[in-house]
Structure 1
Amino acid sequence: MSLSRSSSNHYCALLKHCFNSRDAKKLHCHIIKSFRTPETFLLNNLVNTYAKIGSIAHARKVFDQIPQLNLYSWNTLLSSYSKLGRIPEMEHVFHAMPTRDVVSWNSLISGYAGCGSLAQSVKAYNLMLSDGSSNLNRIALSTMLILASNRGCIHLGRQVHGHVVKFGFGSYVFVGSPLVDMYSKTGLVSCAWKAFDEIPEKNVVMYNTLIAGLMRCGRIEDSRQLFCDMHEKDSISWTAMIAGFTQNGFDREAIDLFREMRLENLKMDQFTFGSVLTACGGVVALREGKEVHAYIIRTGYEDNIYVGSALVDMYCKCKIVQSAETVFRKMACKNIVSWTAMLVGYGQNGCSEEAVKIFCEMQKYGIEPDDFTLGSVISSCANLASLEEGAQFHGRALVSGLISYVTVSNALVTLYGKCGSIEDSHKLFSEMGFRDEVSWTALVSGYAQFGKANETIRLFESMLAHGFKPDKVTFIGVLSACSRAGLVEKGNQIFESMIKEHRIIPIHDHYTCMIDLFSRAGKFEEARNFINKMPFSPDAIGWASLLSSCRFYGNMEIGKWAAEFLLKLEPHNTASYILLSSIYAAKGKWEEVAKLRKGMRDKGLRKEPGCSWIKYKNQVHIFSADDRSNAFSDQIYSELEKLNYKMVQEGYVPDMSSILHDVEDSEKIKMLSYHSEKLAIAFGLIFIPPGLPIRIVKNLRVCGDCHNATKYISKITQREILVRDAARFHLFKDGMCSCGDFW
């Protein structure tokens, strides 16, 4: 070997260890100094090195300086453009080549496929075949099968499969795996299995491919059997099974398989940990989730962005928000998935304010939201009844174009519905280019919460007429609308149709709606018969609903029956004591009221204090009964005194049935005068400009006296007052309420 060739080989070896442009340029300088005319194969290696590290401009410059270009030179440059997705340059080089071989065609087809260009890839593939079948190779076939798989193009996949068989590539595992994958992803499992069986020597990759394919299609038992039949399993095999179990709702099986995998001492990666953490969150398996977390720390995967996001999600689903926060804050790198996991976690755990705050924090880091993130933060605004902030996010959706995503539009329909702007909710729904079942359900639920029963039913029937299938949530909305409007017969019909026509098995919420339907209408015997026929006992909400109606109608017999069951279910829930006390107080049975109060004291129970809040200039003002802590208390109480005087002149009479104290009537009137919602309304009358509605939120149900008083206030002041209590919306206008006094 000549000295020149020996030196060239030395430099070629050094070029393999260049991983950045600085080192490559230094070596390039040495080559120029050492050789007057470097050999072509050395320059080819230099082109390849520059291309490998992404310095395509330098690669092209060296290529143009090669005195005697050979096919390897052309293919090196062509492959570089192909890998970088530089399609125009790739096409230019390909057409300029004096000759082409298999590598040339592979580069062209792979370049188009990498950019997702189905038409151009097929065109290049057909050109290759017309240039001579000798060009056909396993890489080209595999590339086309993968493209057909990713694009769901079964026609192309079948065509390529025909070529695989025709030209004798059927026994190649390299081609067999993408063939199995293509049929699996397009839902043709029998074809995938047949292709699998036709490969004489199967490797672990083929088994893994078929297992994964059988899992997207839901063939759990077939996947399990195939997995058990494998003589040799690798980490990918185990991970595919764990991921498949998780994706198909077999969370407990996924956790058990993860334990077995650990016993096998196999290496786990981010996909293994991500799948099992999703499974732990799915079944709220906190203990197992913590065990996985400990193993993640030991194996050094805690800093992995994918694993960190999965940990945040798992802790949030297990209701351990503080641990989720700790993991989130420790993450060195965060992406949109990480931020969204924390944001959604806050929302799922009732921490809607924190969800909005973390969205704003995410913005400071320059991370742009996707449709799911924006939809989630809008949902949090809906839970807070924060119309102003929600409207700002609506503007953000319009500017960014994310309004076109159904997830964002659905969240906005829900937002306006929950904030009492049902007209805006319906307008947005009407403007949606695409609607799904969630869109219809969001609007149905909005009308239901607003108490517009007839509109809710009409919308529900329109949903059916448009061919959309209602789900459990849709029926909860319709049934609750019927219960709040006293439409007993209609509610009964819808409940029966849910079971018989739509094949939906009722859950506790549906039964609660029916209990509420009967009891609100005063049909207590029907309610009792319905409960006795239920497949399970009502939950606490169901019993509380019955007890609440008993208080309204003064039915002591059924009320005591409901209270007895409610106390067994939730012995520390004060609702049963308060509601039963109200029944006794209305009947003048003060001794019984005293006994219940003593029972509460003995158990250390205290009634949840009622509070109301109103937002003004981005600040929330919270009031409790007889509250004088607000900076504007003097003005508020003065305003209420004026209103009380005018209300009495209009015919207002205080409703003292909700007072559970055996005191003089004058004292009861005084106690009623300064309930939290009245203070919040007075604040709104002082500060909210005329012409704008006054929006109040209350944590408990509005009492009868406050409801009556607010009707008078709306008439006297000619203001719209919107109150969202624990049960529903009340829109007070011109002395009337949207609920029709039925709540």
Structure 2
Amino acid sequence: MFYMTPSFYSFSSNHYCALLKLYCETRNRANAKKLHCLIIKAFRNPETFLLNNLVGSYAKLGNITYARKVFDHIPQPSIYSWNTILSSYSKMGLVPEMERVFYAMPTRDVVSWNSLISGYAGCGSIVQSVKAYNLMLNDGSFNLSHITFSTMLILASSQGCVQLGRQIHGHVVKFGFQSYVFVGSPLVDMYSKSGLISCATRAFDEMPEKNVVMYNTLITGLMRCGKLEDSRRLFYDMKDRDSITWTTMIAGFSQNGFYREAIDLFGEMSLEKLEMDQYTFGSVLTSCGSVMALQEGKQVHAYIIRTDYKDNIFVGSALVDMYCKCKCIESAETVFKKMTCKNVVSWTAMLVGYGQNGFSEEAVRVFGDMQKYGVEPDDFTLGSVISSCANLASLEEGAQFHGRALVSGLISFLTVSNALVTLYGKCGSIEDSHRLFSEMSFRDEVSWTALVSGYAQFGKANETIRLFESMLANGLKPDRVTFIGVLSACSRAGLVEKGNQIFESMIKEHGIVPMHDHYTCMIDLFSRAGRLEEARDFIHKMPFNPDAIGWATLLSSCRFYENMEIGKWAAEFLLELEPHNTASYILLSSIYAAKGKWEEVARLRKGMRDKGLKKEPGCSWIKYKNKVHIFSADDRSNPFSDEIYSELEKLYHKMIQAGYVPDMNSVLHDVEDSEKIKMLNHHSEKLAIAFGLIFIPPGLPIRVVKNLRVCGDCHNATKYISKVTQREILVRDAARFHLFKDGICSCGDFW
């Protein structure tokens, strides 16, 4: 509350100026006006200094009309008064008024010119700034100021005008301002941001005196340009390093992938007892998450709790991201729930964390919660939730997000479009995936790779290879993921020579060093085609041993081709690598079972029991009316179990009449054939398909997802089901997609 008492009349001009400053800081327009009234009553002829402060205060409070009225009533206005109103118009972005006032000024000094140049620069008008700067130089009736050169260098840097920057540098030298630190820092910054790091370094070296701001500027420049060693050397050469310097180094290391160095430097900084900010914590937490340094991340978290940043939204989001990347989802949830304020970054960090850790359903749920709190998603958020739908093979929800992307305009972002291409590919709608790809106005490597991978999962090798060749023809560089898609397509189609050729080109033409995934594709390429000896020879030539997936791939093919010798060899390596992995026991058991060696099967099972190992239970699921129905073998927990088993019985008789013969080799138990048939007929995917036949309306495809690879009998049976029911059935197993239609599978019986 503002009260006018007699004591106010004894105030000096300085007292009133102090009050004006206070009201500006608190944005109190009403009290500023009341104080103005008091000034009019208290002073018959107020000092120009006081009136100028009134002009400036009104301008800062956004009341340019009052500022101009006060200015107009200043008797015999001084140059400072003119400069004040000029600066006010500059801050308000009122360029025409600023020009009119400037050219009406009776006299101009260096402050006047600087106000005009700064005003133009603040409005982003580089042409007018340069014009005013040249007029100033031509005037020559006053002493130049370092502020002028600093303003022009900052303008050149922000607008990326290196030629202008070089000209200003020449003037700096010509007029003797090269030793001014205030000029040196923007000069170094201008060259650094223009990518001319050698010029920035030379300007830095030529400065007789350097302050911490200049050091920080050059260190930052050396970091954008990738010269980490030079920036590190400069950092340790500094006598006085402030918090900004340390944070700049930590952020630079983190952004350039030197995560361990960033974490170690943070440790050094903490020993210096320097104040840290959100950027310091954010950078080190990013580094901890990138190398899964959970212990160090927890230590940083403990440090943050003792600071004022424990409730900072930026830091909280970084903590959530760090814990998610370290696969410590419970801690991420705890931090997220405790955050008093959340923004789109916070929600996205939690959503992405769920998706990356295999909790795709939770990711979709978080997106819904985010909407309830009125937080609008950005392109990264929407792309991430679409990716989670792709992992769930949830086409219905994914299509809804596609609609949202169209309505919001986020479809124009590559992040969203690429996620949608992947979604439709993973959900088996490869035509929709290709259509969306074709409609994109711009495509990058990720776009092409998403479509290539989609066709590869369907086993459409020729289409995959054509896309890959089109990608190369369009000048796009394939990455490791692209080659995994192409090689896997060749493998599933049995194109051994073509796959081998592409593998060689990856190394020789594209300079990509093969990783485990690429070698696994090649093992799969040879072994699927029955060329098991070539697969073994290829493994011997590898620079490292295959990983568990590679050995399991070979072992799986040995089961298919009943090659006991190579199968035992692969199983021994797989057991040595992962002694608790049940895959080696199961696959080797299949080989023995196919040969009727039930004693060996029993021995392997005993070995599993002795080690406390259990086979991962197979399950299949199907979505109907926004609810996921999950089935396991011989499952009777579904409320419609009676109808499902009745449907299976009817199907079995129709399939037998159509020529279906159960594959007894898919049963790993030494039981009677009748029992084997019963066990085969109650596999999880058959239960899910029967559910779909009952409830999914005719004309719509039946979509089933299975957590394991589909067995030989189920694959054969589903072909017959699609034929006798005239229904389209899409099964996505752990390895690929199978589109069953009219008794034929898209994989060509090669999976």
Q: CA deviation at 1:611?
A: 0.9
Opposite residue 559 of structure 2, the aligned amino acid is R
Indicate yes or no: 2:392 matched with 1:384: yes
Partner residue of 1:198 out of 195, 206, 217: 206
Equivalent position SS for 2:739 = strand
Indicate yes or no: 2:81 matched with 1:76: no
Partner residue of 2:722 out of 701, 705, 714: 714
Q: CA deviation at 1:169?
A: 2.3
Partner residue of 1:574 out of 570, 575, 582: 582
Equivalent position SS for 1:35 = helix
Task: Flag the 1:330–1:69 CA change in 2: closer, same or farther, 3 A.
Answer: farther
**Range with greater deviation from structure 2 (48-57 or 217-226):** 48-57
Indicate yes or no: 2:19 matched with 1:11: no
Q: CA deviation at 1:440?
A: 1.2
Map 1:240-279 to 2 at 5 A: 240-279=248-287
Equivalent position SS for 2:476 = coil
Q: CA deviation at 1:453?
A: 0.7
The CA deviation string for residues 2-22 of structure 1, in whole angstroms up to 9 with x for no partner, is x97953332112222225667
Map 1:499-514 to 2 at 5 A: 499-514=507-522
Q: What is the match of residue 309 of structure 2?
A: 301
Q: CA deviation at 1:337?
A: 2.0
Q: CA deviation at 1:707?
A: 0.8
Q: What is the match of residue 3 of structure 2?
A: none
Indicate yes or no: 2:452 matched with 1:444: yes
Q: CA deviation at 1:662?
A: 0.9
Aligned-partner Cα distance in 2 for 1:471–1:708? 36
Equivalent position SS for 1:690 = coil
Q: What is the match of residue 347 of structure 1?
A: 355
**Range with greater deviation from structure 2 (152-161 or 354-363):** 152-161
Indicate yes or no: 2:31 matched with 1:26: yes
**Is the contact between residue 11 and residue 31 of structure 1 (CA under 8 Å) also seen in structure 2?**
no
Q: What is the match of residue 145 of structure 1?
A: 153
Aligned-partner Cα distance in 2 for 1:87–1:344? 46
**Is the contact between residue 289 and residue 314 of structure 1 (CA under 8 Å) also seen in structure 2?**
yes
Q: CA deviation at 1:484?
A: 0.8
**Is the contact between residue 157 and residue 193 of structure 2 (CA under 8 Å) also seen in structure 1?**
yes
Equivalent position SS for 1:299 = coil
Task: Flag the 1:428–1:64 CA change in 2: closer, same or farther, 3 A.
Answer: farther
Aligned-partner Cα distance in 2 for 1:334–1:51? 35
Task: Flag the 1:360–1:132 CA change in 2: closer, same or farther, 3 A.
Answer: farther
RMSD across aligned positions (CA): 2.4
Map 1:533-612 to 2 at 5 A: 533-612=541-620
Aligned-partner Cα distance in 1 for 2:300–2:335? 14
Q: What is the match of residue 474 of structure 1?
A: 482
Partner residue of 1:173 out of 181, 185, 196: 181
Task: Flag the 1:188–1:656 CA change in 2: closer, same or farther, 3 A.
Answer: same
**Is the contact between residue 108 and residue 124 of structure 1 (CA under 8 Å) also seen in structure 2?**
yes
Aligned-partner Cα distance in 2 for 1:250–1:119? 41
Task: Flag the 1:637–1:82 CA change in 2: closer, same or farther, 3 A.
Answer: farther
Task: Flag the 1:70–1:693 CA change in 2: closer, same or farther, 3 A.
Answer: farther
Opposite residue 310 of structure 2, the aligned amino acid is E
Map 1:45-60 to 2 at 5 A: 45-54=53-62, 59=67
Q: What is the match of residue 4 of structure 2?
A: none
Aligned-partner Cα distance in 2 for 1:376–1:457? 28
Q: CA deviation at 1:336?
A: 2.2
Partner residue of 1:491 out of 461, 486, 499: 499
Indicate yes or no: 2:657 matched with 1:657: no
Q: What is the match of residue 5 of structure 2?
A: none
**Range with greater deviation from structure 2 (152-161 or 253-262):** 152-161
Indicate yes or no: 2:674 matched with 1:666: yes
Q: CA deviation at 1:214?
A: 0.5
Q: What is the match of residue 619 of structure 1?
A: 627
Aligned-partner Cα distance in 2 for 1:99–1:369? 55
Q: What is the match of residue 160 of structure 1?
A: 168
**Is the contact between residue 23 and residue 31 of structure 2 (CA under 8 Å) also seen in structure 1?**
no
Equivalent position SS for 2:22 = coil
Q: What is the match of residue 230 of structure 1?
A: 238
Partner residue of 2:443 out of 435, 456, 464: 435
Q: What is the match of residue 404 of structure 2?
A: 396
TM-score, normalised relative to structure 1: 0.95
Once the two structures are aligned, what percentage of the paired residues are identical?
Answer: 82
Map 1:274-423 to 2 at 5 A: 274-423=282-431
Map 1:84-163 to 2 at 5 A: 84-85=92-93, 100-119=108-127, 121-126=129-134, 128-129=136-137, 134=142, 137-163=145-171
Aligned-partner Cα distance in 1 for 2:564–2:541? 22
Opposite residue 201 of structure 1, the aligned amino acid is E
**Is the contact between residue 109 and residue 142 of structure 2 (CA under 8 Å) also seen in structure 1?**
no
**Is the contact between residue 371 and residue 402 of structure 1 (CA under 8 Å) also seen in structure 2?**
yes
Task: Flag the 1:122–1:644 CA change in 2: closer, same or farther, 3 A.
Answer: farther
**Is the contact between residue 27 and residue 61 of structure 2 (CA under 8 Å) also seen in structure 1?**
no
Task: Flag the 1:516–1:399 CA change in 2: closer, same or farther, 3 A.
Answer: same
Opposite residue 175 of structure 2, the aligned amino acid is F
Task: Flag the 1:365–1:126 CA change in 2: closer, same or farther, 3 A.
Answer: farther
Aligned-partner Cα distance in 2 for 1:491–1:135? 75
Q: CA deviation at 1:711?
A: 1.0
Q: For structure 2, which runs of at least 5 residues remain unmatched after alignment? A: 1-7
Q: What is the match of residue 726 of structure 1?
A: 734
Indicate yes or no: 2:503 matched with 1:526: no
Task: Flag the 1:132–1:444 CA change in 2: closer, same or farther, 3 A.
Answer: farther
Q: What is the match of residue 629 of structure 1?
A: 637
Task: Flag the 1:587–1:299 CA change in 2: closer, same or farther, 3 A.
Answer: same
Equivalent position SS for 1:612 = strand
Aligned-partner Cα distance in 1 for 2:415–2:283? 24
Equivalent position SS for 1:696 = strand
Opposite residue 223 of structure 2, the aligned amino acid is M
**Is the contact between residue 490 and residue 499 of structure 2 (CA under 8 Å) also seen in structure 1?**
yes
**Range with greater deviation from structure 2 (71-80 or 680-689):** 71-80
**Is the contact between residue 611 and residue 676 of structure 1 (CA under 8 Å) also seen in structure 2?**
yes
Q: For structure 1, which runs of at least 5 residues remain unmatched after alignment? A: none
Opposite residue 25 of structure 1, the aligned amino acid is A
Equivalent position SS for 1:662 = coil
Aligned-partner Cα distance in 2 for 1:392–1:140? 56
Q: CA deviation at 1:370?
A: 2.0
Equivalent position SS for 2:622 = strand
Task: Flag the 1:709–1:227 CA change in 2: closer, same or farther, 3 A.
Answer: same
Opposite residue 453 of structure 2, the aligned amino acid is S
Opposite residue 32 of structure 1, the aligned amino acid is C
Q: What is the match of residue 462 of structure 2?
A: 454
**Range with greater deviation from structure 2 (231-240 or 445-454):** 231-240
Equivalent position SS for 2:23 = coil
The CA deviation string for residues 47-67 of structure 1, in whole angstroms up to 9 with x for no partner, is 323433455565456556656
**Range with greater deviation from structure 2 (509-518 or 159-168):** 159-168
Task: Flag the 1:691–1:62 CA change in 2: closer, same or farther, 3 A.
Answer: farther
Aligned-partner Cα distance in 1 for 2:640–2:31? 75
Indicate yes or no: 2:57 matched with 1:43: no
The CA deviation string for residues 597-639 of structure 1, in whole angstroms up to 9 with x for no partner, is 1111112211111111111121111111122222222222222
Task: Flag the 1:685–1:174 CA change in 2: closer, same or farther, 3 A.
Answer: same
Opposite residue 49 of structure 2, the aligned amino acid is F
Aligned-partner Cα distance in 2 for 1:287–1:133? 66
**Range with greater deviation from structure 2 (32-41 or 602-611):** 32-41
Q: CA deviation at 1:242?
A: 1.4
Aligned-partner Cα distance in 1 for 2:648–2:141? 92
The CA deviation string for residues 639-660 of structure 1, in whole angstroms up to 9 with x for no partner, is 2222222111111111121111
Aligned-partner Cα distance in 1 for 2:127–2:465? 49
Aligned-partner Cα distance in 2 for 1:682–1:100? 90
Opposite residue 191 of structure 2, the aligned amino acid is Y
Task: Flag the 1:590–1:716 CA change in 2: closer, same or farther, 3 A.
Answer: same
**Is the contact between residue 242 and residue 272 of structure 1 (CA under 8 Å) also seen in structure 2?**
yes
